[in-house]
Structure 1
Amino acid sequence: MDINEYIESGVLEAYLTGTATEKEIQQLMFLKKNYPQIDIALSRIEMDLAQLSGISTPATGQKIEDDLKELTKSKHTRIVKLKVHTKESESTEEQTAGKSIQFIEIEDTSKYMRVKKTWKWRIIGILILMALLLGLIIYFYLENQQMKEQLENHAFY
Protein backbone atom coordinates (compact mmCIF):
# COMPACT_ATOMS: atom_id res chain seq x y z
CA MET A 1 0.00 0.00 0.00
CA ASP A 2 1.36 3.39 -0.98
CA ILE A 3 1.06 5.86 1.91
CA ASN A 4 0.67 8.89 -0.36
CA GLU A 5 -2.23 7.20 -2.17
CA TYR A 6 -3.84 6.41 1.18
CA ILE A 7 -3.42 10.00 2.35
CA GLU A 8 -5.00 11.34 -0.85
CA SER A 9 -7.85 8.78 -0.80
CA GLY A 10 -10.03 10.92 1.45
CA VAL A 11 -10.07 8.58 4.45
CA LEU A 12 -8.29 11.17 6.62
CA GLU A 13 -10.90 13.81 5.78
CA ALA A 14 -13.70 11.33 6.47
CA TYR A 15 -12.13 10.53 9.85
CA LEU A 16 -11.83 14.18 10.82
CA THR A 17 -15.39 14.99 9.77
CA GLY A 18 -16.75 11.93 11.57
CA THR A 19 -18.07 10.11 8.50
CA ALA A 20 -15.50 7.28 8.44
CA THR A 21 -16.63 3.72 9.13
CA GLU A 22 -15.35 1.73 12.10
CA LYS A 23 -13.15 -0.38 9.81
CA GLU A 24 -11.58 2.75 8.26
CA ILE A 25 -10.94 4.21 11.71
CA GLN A 26 -9.22 1.04 12.91
CA GLN A 27 -7.09 0.89 9.77
CA LEU A 28 -6.17 4.57 10.12
CA MET A 29 -5.15 4.14 13.77
CA PHE A 30 -2.96 1.17 12.85
CA LEU A 31 -1.29 3.04 9.98
CA LYS A 32 -0.91 6.18 12.06
CA LYS A 33 1.19 4.26 14.61
CA ASN A 34 3.48 2.90 11.90
CA TYR A 35 3.74 5.87 9.52
CA PRO A 36 4.43 9.39 10.86
CA GLN A 37 3.43 10.89 7.46
CA ILE A 38 -0.19 10.05 8.24
CA ASP A 39 -0.02 11.87 11.57
CA ILE A 40 1.49 14.92 9.86
CA ALA A 41 -1.16 14.83 7.14
CA LEU A 42 -3.91 14.51 9.76
CA SER A 43 -2.69 17.56 11.66
CA ARG A 44 -2.34 19.54 8.41
CA ILE A 45 -5.88 18.64 7.30
CA GLU A 46 -7.21 19.42 10.78
CA MET A 47 -5.64 22.89 10.66
CA ASP A 48 -7.06 23.48 7.17
CA LEU A 49 -10.54 22.43 8.30
CA ALA A 50 -10.26 24.64 11.36
CA GLN A 51 -9.33 27.63 9.22
CA LEU A 52 -12.22 26.95 6.82
CA SER A 53 -14.75 26.56 9.63
CA GLY A 54 -13.50 29.55 11.63
CA ILE A 55 -12.61 27.51 14.72
CA SER A 56 -9.77 28.96 16.74
CA THR A 57 -6.38 27.37 16.23
CA PRO A 58 -3.68 27.09 18.91
CA ALA A 59 -2.21 30.41 17.75
CA THR A 60 -5.57 32.08 18.43
CA GLY A 61 -5.65 30.50 21.89
CA GLN A 62 -2.23 31.95 22.63
CA LYS A 63 -3.42 35.38 21.44
CA ILE A 64 -6.43 35.19 23.78
CA GLU A 65 -4.16 34.20 26.68
CA ASP A 66 -1.85 37.14 25.92
CA ASP A 67 -4.84 39.50 25.83
CA LEU A 68 -6.02 38.21 29.21
CA LYS A 69 -2.59 38.76 30.72
CA GLU A 70 -2.54 42.29 29.32
CA LEU A 71 -5.99 43.01 30.78
CA THR A 72 -4.96 41.82 34.22
CA LYS A 73 -2.03 44.25 34.15
CA SER A 74 -4.34 47.19 33.42
CA LYS A 75 -5.16 49.56 36.32
CA HIS A 76 -8.87 49.82 35.58
CA THR A 77 -9.55 46.09 35.28
CA ARG A 78 -10.94 44.16 38.22
CA ILE A 79 -8.77 41.12 38.90
CA VAL A 80 -10.48 37.74 38.42
CA LYS A 81 -8.52 34.58 39.18
CA LEU A 82 -8.53 32.01 36.38
CA LYS A 83 -7.73 28.38 37.00
CA VAL A 84 -7.27 26.21 33.91
CA HIS A 85 -7.72 22.48 34.34
CA THR A 86 -6.89 19.99 31.60
CA LYS A 87 -8.70 16.70 31.57
CA GLU A 88 -7.14 14.03 29.40
CA SER A 89 -9.83 11.96 27.72
CA GLU A 90 -9.93 8.21 28.06
CA SER A 91 -11.03 7.61 24.48
CA THR A 92 -8.26 6.06 22.38
CA GLU A 93 -9.29 8.04 19.30
CA GLU A 94 -9.07 11.38 21.12
CA GLN A 95 -5.76 10.52 22.76
CA THR A 96 -4.20 9.59 19.45
CA ALA A 97 -5.44 12.79 17.88
CA GLY A 98 -3.72 14.69 20.71
CA LYS A 99 -6.85 16.45 21.91
CA SER A 100 -7.58 17.48 25.48
CA ILE A 101 -10.51 19.23 27.12
CA GLN A 102 -9.90 22.42 29.11
CA PHE A 103 -12.13 23.79 31.86
CA ILE A 104 -11.79 27.36 33.13
CA GLU A 105 -12.95 28.12 36.67
CA ILE A 106 -13.53 31.79 37.36
CA GLU A 107 -13.25 32.83 40.99
CA ASP A 108 -14.58 36.29 41.78
CA THR A 109 -12.96 38.20 44.63
CA SER A 110 -16.00 40.41 45.26
CA LYS A 111 -17.92 39.73 48.48
CA TYR A 112 -21.15 41.31 47.20
CA MET A 113 -23.88 39.58 45.28
CA ARG A 114 -24.75 41.12 41.93
CA VAL A 115 -28.43 41.66 41.16
CA LYS A 116 -29.79 42.71 37.78
CA LYS A 117 -31.55 46.07 37.65
CA THR A 118 -34.96 44.53 36.94
CA TRP A 119 -34.71 42.39 40.07
CA LYS A 120 -33.83 45.41 42.17
CA TRP A 121 -37.08 47.13 41.16
CA ARG A 122 -39.09 43.96 41.72
CA ILE A 123 -37.65 43.56 45.21
CA ILE A 124 -38.35 47.22 46.03
CA GLY A 125 -41.93 46.81 44.78
CA ILE A 126 -42.45 43.70 46.89
CA LEU A 127 -41.12 45.50 49.99
CA ILE A 128 -43.50 48.44 49.38
CA LEU A 129 -46.43 46.04 48.98
CA MET A 130 -45.47 44.26 52.19
CA ALA A 131 -45.37 47.61 54.06
CA LEU A 132 -48.81 48.50 52.70
CA LEU A 133 -50.16 45.11 53.71
CA LEU A 134 -48.73 45.49 57.20
CA GLY A 135 -50.36 48.95 57.46
CA LEU A 136 -53.71 47.51 56.37
CA ILE A 137 -53.45 44.69 58.92
CA ILE A 138 -52.74 47.16 61.74
CA TYR A 139 -55.56 49.44 60.55
CA PHE A 140 -58.15 46.66 60.47
CA TYR A 141 -56.94 45.28 63.82
CA LEU A 142 -57.45 48.69 65.45
CA GLU A 143 -60.87 49.07 63.77
CA ASN A 144 -61.83 45.65 65.09
CA GLN A 145 -60.76 46.64 68.61
CA GLN A 146 -62.83 49.85 68.41
CA MET A 147 -65.86 47.92 67.22
CA LYS A 148 -65.51 45.46 70.10
CA GLU A 149 -65.30 48.37 72.60
CA GLN A 150 -68.36 50.03 71.07
CA LEU A 151 -70.32 46.78 71.26
CA GLU A 152 -69.30 46.30 74.88
CA ASN A 153 -70.29 49.90 75.68
CA HIS A 154 -73.70 49.56 73.97
CA ALA A 155 -74.43 46.25 75.60
CA PHE A 156 -74.36 47.77 79.10
CA TYR A 157 -76.84 50.58 78.30
Structure 2
Amino acid sequence: MEIRTIIESGLLETYVMGIASEEEKLQVEQLSVRYPEFKEALTSLELDMELLAQRMAVPPPPLVFDKIEQEINEIKLRDQHLLKIDKPVDDQKERQSTAGGYIEVESSSSHMRIHKAWRWVFAAVFILGKIFLGFAIYYYLESRQAKEKIEELKQEIRKTTS
Protein backbone atom coordinates (compact mmCIF):
# COMPACT_ATOMS: atom_id res chain seq x y z
CA MET A 1 0.00 0.00 0.00
CA GLU A 2 2.73 2.47 0.93
CA ILE A 3 4.64 1.98 -2.39
CA ARG A 4 1.46 2.57 -4.41
CA THR A 5 0.94 5.87 -2.53
CA ILE A 6 4.51 6.96 -3.24
CA ILE A 7 4.15 6.01 -6.92
CA GLU A 8 0.96 8.09 -7.22
CA SER A 9 2.44 11.06 -5.32
CA GLY A 10 4.24 12.49 -8.36
CA LEU A 11 7.71 11.71 -7.08
CA LEU A 12 8.49 9.58 -10.13
CA GLU A 13 7.42 12.33 -12.52
CA THR A 14 9.66 14.93 -10.89
CA TYR A 15 12.54 12.44 -10.95
CA VAL A 16 12.08 11.59 -14.64
CA MET A 17 11.75 15.27 -15.66
CA GLY A 18 14.95 16.09 -13.76
CA ILE A 19 13.41 18.59 -11.35
CA ALA A 20 13.63 16.46 -8.21
CA SER A 21 15.69 17.63 -5.25
CA GLU A 22 18.73 15.69 -4.10
CA GLU A 23 16.72 14.07 -1.30
CA GLU A 24 14.00 12.99 -3.73
CA LYS A 25 16.58 11.57 -6.14
CA LEU A 26 18.16 9.56 -3.36
CA GLN A 27 14.74 8.34 -2.20
CA VAL A 28 13.77 7.20 -5.74
CA GLU A 29 17.06 5.39 -6.22
CA GLN A 30 16.73 3.61 -2.87
CA LEU A 31 13.09 2.63 -3.49
CA SER A 32 13.84 1.34 -6.99
CA VAL A 33 16.51 -0.97 -5.54
CA ARG A 34 14.27 -2.25 -2.73
CA TYR A 35 10.90 -2.59 -4.47
CA PRO A 36 10.54 -4.21 -7.92
CA GLU A 37 7.06 -2.66 -8.33
CA PHE A 38 8.57 0.80 -7.88
CA LYS A 39 11.37 0.00 -10.34
CA GLU A 40 8.80 -1.22 -12.89
CA ALA A 41 6.71 1.95 -12.52
CA LEU A 42 9.84 4.08 -12.95
CA THR A 43 10.88 2.20 -16.11
CA SER A 44 7.36 2.44 -17.51
CA LEU A 45 7.22 6.20 -16.87
CA GLU A 46 10.65 6.73 -18.46
CA LEU A 47 9.52 4.85 -21.60
CA ASP A 48 6.28 6.84 -21.75
CA MET A 49 8.16 10.14 -21.45
CA GLU A 50 10.60 9.05 -24.15
CA LEU A 51 7.76 8.15 -26.52
CA LEU A 52 6.04 11.45 -25.79
CA ALA A 53 9.25 13.37 -26.48
CA GLN A 54 9.76 11.51 -29.76
CA ARG A 55 6.20 12.22 -30.92
CA MET A 56 6.46 15.92 -30.04
CA ALA A 57 9.92 16.39 -31.57
CA VAL A 58 10.16 18.96 -34.34
CA PRO A 59 12.60 17.95 -37.07
CA PRO A 60 15.14 20.61 -38.05
CA PRO A 61 15.03 22.14 -41.53
CA PRO A 62 16.56 19.81 -44.14
CA LEU A 63 19.65 21.93 -44.85
CA VAL A 64 20.79 22.17 -41.21
CA PHE A 65 22.70 18.89 -41.27
CA ASP A 66 24.42 19.86 -44.53
CA LYS A 67 25.48 23.22 -43.04
CA ILE A 68 26.83 21.54 -39.92
CA GLU A 69 28.75 19.00 -41.97
CA GLN A 70 30.17 21.75 -44.20
CA GLU A 71 31.34 23.78 -41.19
CA ILE A 72 32.97 20.71 -39.63
CA ASN A 73 34.78 19.97 -42.88
CA GLU A 74 35.98 23.58 -43.08
CA ILE A 75 37.31 23.38 -39.52
CA LYS A 76 39.11 20.13 -40.35
CA LEU A 77 40.65 21.64 -43.48
CA ARG A 78 41.73 24.73 -41.57
CA ASP A 79 43.33 22.61 -38.86
CA GLN A 80 45.12 20.49 -41.48
CA HIS A 81 46.31 23.64 -43.23
CA LEU A 82 47.67 25.04 -39.96
CA LEU A 83 49.53 21.79 -39.28
CA LYS A 84 51.13 21.79 -42.75
CA ILE A 85 52.68 25.23 -42.34
CA ASP A 86 56.38 24.74 -41.56
CA LYS A 87 57.72 28.23 -42.04
CA PRO A 88 56.35 31.46 -40.54
CA VAL A 89 54.01 33.47 -42.77
CA ASP A 90 55.42 36.74 -44.10
CA ASP A 91 53.03 39.33 -42.65
CA GLN A 92 53.82 41.90 -45.36
CA LYS A 93 52.93 39.48 -48.20
CA GLU A 94 49.70 38.56 -46.45
CA ARG A 95 48.71 42.22 -46.14
CA GLN A 96 49.39 42.82 -49.81
CA SER A 97 47.25 39.84 -50.84
CA THR A 98 44.29 41.02 -48.75
CA ALA A 99 44.61 44.65 -49.84
CA GLY A 100 43.41 43.72 -53.34
CA GLY A 101 39.84 44.83 -52.67
CA TYR A 102 38.54 42.89 -49.68
CA ILE A 103 37.89 43.72 -46.05
CA GLU A 104 40.73 42.83 -43.72
CA VAL A 105 39.18 40.97 -40.81
CA GLU A 106 42.04 40.47 -38.38
CA SER A 107 44.68 43.12 -38.07
CA SER A 108 47.05 44.60 -35.58
CA SER A 109 45.74 48.11 -36.28
CA SER A 110 42.43 49.50 -35.10
CA HIS A 111 41.37 50.49 -38.65
CA MET A 112 39.45 48.42 -41.12
CA ARG A 113 40.29 48.35 -44.81
CA ILE A 114 37.48 48.34 -47.35
CA HIS A 115 37.35 48.36 -51.13
CA LYS A 116 37.48 51.86 -52.61
CA ALA A 117 34.07 51.51 -54.28
CA TRP A 118 32.43 51.14 -50.87
CA ARG A 119 33.83 54.50 -49.75
CA TRP A 120 31.56 56.25 -52.24
CA VAL A 121 28.60 54.19 -51.12
CA PHE A 122 29.22 55.11 -47.48
CA ALA A 123 29.65 58.77 -48.39
CA ALA A 124 26.40 58.74 -50.41
CA VAL A 125 24.50 57.08 -47.56
CA PHE A 126 25.88 59.65 -45.11
CA ILE A 127 24.91 62.59 -47.32
CA LEU A 128 21.44 61.16 -48.04
CA GLY A 129 20.94 60.63 -44.33
CA LYS A 130 21.68 64.30 -43.67
CA ILE A 131 19.32 65.38 -46.45
CA PHE A 132 16.49 63.19 -45.16
CA LEU A 133 17.10 64.45 -41.63
CA GLY A 134 16.77 68.02 -42.89
CA PHE A 135 13.50 67.21 -44.69
CA ALA A 136 12.15 65.41 -41.61
CA ILE A 137 12.84 68.42 -39.40
CA TYR A 138 11.36 70.82 -41.98
CA TYR A 139 8.15 68.82 -42.40
CA TYR A 140 7.84 68.29 -38.65
CA LEU A 141 7.96 72.05 -38.08
CA GLU A 142 5.53 72.67 -40.95
CA SER A 143 3.13 70.09 -39.52
CA ARG A 144 3.32 71.66 -36.08
CA GLN A 145 2.69 75.10 -37.52
CA ALA A 146 -0.27 73.81 -39.57
CA LYS A 147 -1.79 72.20 -36.44
CA GLU A 148 -1.48 75.51 -34.59
CA LYS A 149 -3.13 77.34 -37.49
CA ILE A 150 -5.97 74.79 -37.58
CA GLU A 151 -6.48 75.20 -33.84
CA GLU A 152 -6.65 79.00 -34.24
CA LEU A 153 -9.23 78.67 -37.04
CA LYS A 154 -11.33 76.31 -34.91
CA GLN A 155 -11.33 78.84 -32.08
CA GLU A 156 -12.38 81.64 -34.50
CA ILE A 157 -15.23 79.50 -35.81
CA ARG A 158 -16.40 78.78 -32.26
CA LYS A 159 -16.36 82.50 -31.42
CA THR A 160 -18.32 83.48 -34.51
CA THR A 161 -20.97 80.76 -34.01
CA SER A 162 -21.47 81.62 -30.37
TM (norm. structure 1) is: 0.34
Q: Which protein is richer in strand relative to its size? A: 1
Q: TM-score by structure 2 length?
A: 0.33
Larger RCO (CA under 8 A, 6+ residues apart): 1
Structure with the higher helix share, 1 or 2: 2
